Amino acid sequence: MAVMNFGGVQENVITRDEFTLEKAREVLKDETIAVIGYGVQGPGQSLNLRDNGFNVIVGQRAGKTFEKAVSDGWVPGQTLFSIEEACEKASIIMCLLSDAAVMSVWPKMKQYLTPGKALYFSHGFAITWNDRTGCVPPSDIDVIMVAPKGSGTSLRTMFLEGRGLNSSYAIYQDYTGKAFDRTIALGIGIGSGYLFETTFQREATSDLTGERGSLMGAIQGLLLAQYEVLRENGHTPSEAFNETVEELTQSLMPLFAAKGMDWMYANCSTTAQRGALDWMGPFHDAIKPVMQKLYNSVKCGNEAQISIDANSKPDYRVGLEAELKALRESEMWQTAVTVRQLRPENQNK
């Protein structure tokens, strides 16, 4: 385990150099790993484990997702089973179902959590708010987590490119004394770049804050606000979209992703630099109270309860599709369709 300096703060991280793939295989050589759920994280994690040489099976209910698993090479009766059968066969149960699905499947899953097994999550939601989810694990198993900092699609894509997606890891319960090695071996096995230490509670609160904040909710709100102001002041959809979204995603994000915001600023015009430096303060001051309100709502469990209540409604999927349809059909994102078609790499296709 290496101690790294992050902005002046020391943190523990684990890299693939110090905990190699060969070591991970040795740690898990006698384990049967069952990936439960083949939705968002399931395909990426299970396929990476399979390609890395681990003994992995998949548990999935019948339906379109089951058929997707078959198309990915999982063989019914050999490496693809019902959720119950996979849980029974496994020594490590990787619960990669949606938060709502975990709650519905938990009573069936729990009976297979026999002494010495490991229960793995990639999100701290079910355990952190188990007074609301009902997911209280027995005391004689390991409860562990590896949470990739991105989608399962990104995890798989980066793995195929020879790269790794950073992940956090946590140990909630160490019954066997092997929880740490099991956790890190799984983290390396699924293709993590490096792993940094957290807790279930910290992961859950930071994850929900990020999704509602800068990763999804806040970024859509910010982009839409700027787009609307430009449109309301006479700018065309193409101009408003390019100045709001296209330049951000196609030009500037790669710059600050590579070397930081200061480097991106240094590679922009002096006019852009001055304006950015002058206006970042007012934006920060306006946004931080909203972010604090969001964090408080997450930490107290309010956001978890909203999610549980919404996902429990029988018509939730219908309502969700209607909301996503409205987002998709908004002028800004319909403009995006045309702009993407006009990118050089998409022309003449």
**Residues acting as catalytic residues:** 123
Q: What span, in angstroms and rounded, lies between the C-alpha atoms of 327 and 340?
A: 17
Q: Give me 117's structure tokens.
A: 């097994």
Contacts of 106 (CB under 8 A, 6+ apart): 126, 133, 134, 135
Q: What angle do CA 62, 69, 165 make, to 5 degrees?
A: 130
Q: What span, in angstroms and rounded, lies between the C-alpha atoms of 309 and 314?
A: 10
Burial of 242 (0-12, 13-18, 19+ CB in 10 A): middle
CB atoms within 10 A of CB 34: 27
Would you give the DSSP letter of residue 346?
A: G
Element (H, E) at 184: helix 179-189
| Beta carbons of 284 and 292 less than 8 angstroms apart | no
Measured between alpha carbons, how far is residue 47 from residues 4, 38, 54, 112, 305 in Å? 30, 10, 10, 24, 32
Measured between alpha carbons, how far is residue 302 from residues 78, 176, 205, 308, 310 in Å? 42, 34, 11, 10, 12
> Which of 55, 66, 43, 67 has its CA nearest to residue 122?
43
